[in-house]
Amino acid sequence: MSAYVLDQEDIEQLTVATAAMLELNRRYPGSFYLAAETVEMFGKYADDLHSLYRALYITNIKAVNGRYHEESRTLPKYRPLTPWNTDRLTLDTLKKAAGRFNCYLYQCSEDPIYGSAIFNAFTDIYKLLCMVIVEKSVNWYGENR
């Protein structure tokens, strides 16, 4: 298996997707559940897109470094991001983010990241994202397509 660091655009979309899932969990914890460990790890960053961006990139870089026994890579310069309006998420936007998240988790499935607390937290975010897609597909399929 080969591994690579996702490009900046992908990490940016994953950053706002992660923030959106944290926001949904905060607003509707009974409907959009995240594990307590995930909320503890990322909850403080829900409104801090820069910290989420760094966490996503650094996790990806550590996995690739573990795969290829490298020591370092540099982070691309952070560009200010606009959070998603969680009341107006489209099915298409959610599906694209889920596809990127699936790729991201695959790229991070290397030592020392695979099975770590941060990997499990991002997996939890991805599962919630998939659940939101199913929920939106069932309840609002024709409206926001």
Q: Flag whether pLDDT at 11 surpasses 50.
A: yes
Q: Flag whether pLDDT at 145 surpasses 50.
A: no
The CB density around residue 30, as the number of other CB atoms within 10 Å, is 6
pTM metric for this prediction = 0.90
60 and 11 Cβ atoms separated by less than 8 Å: yes
Q: What is the mean pLDDT of residues 42-52?
A: 88
Q: Give the model's pLDDT for residue 69.
A: 87
Q: Give the model's pLDDT for residue 144.
A: 46
Q: Flag whether pLDDT at 32 surpasses 60.
A: yes
Q: Flag whether pLDDT at 56 surpasses 90.
A: yes
4 and 98 Cβ atoms separated by less than 8 Å: no
pLDDT category of residue 45 using cuts at 50, 70 and 90 = confident
**Which residues 6+ apart lie within 8 Å of 41 measured at CB?**
117, 118, 121
HSE at residue 142, side-chain half, CA atoms within 13 A, is 0
Q: Give the model's pLDDT for residue 71.
A: 79
Query: How does pLDDT run across 100-135, given as a tens digit for each residue?
Result: 999 999 999 998 999 999 999 999 999 999 999 998
pLDDT category of residue 3 using cuts at 50, 70 and 90 = confident
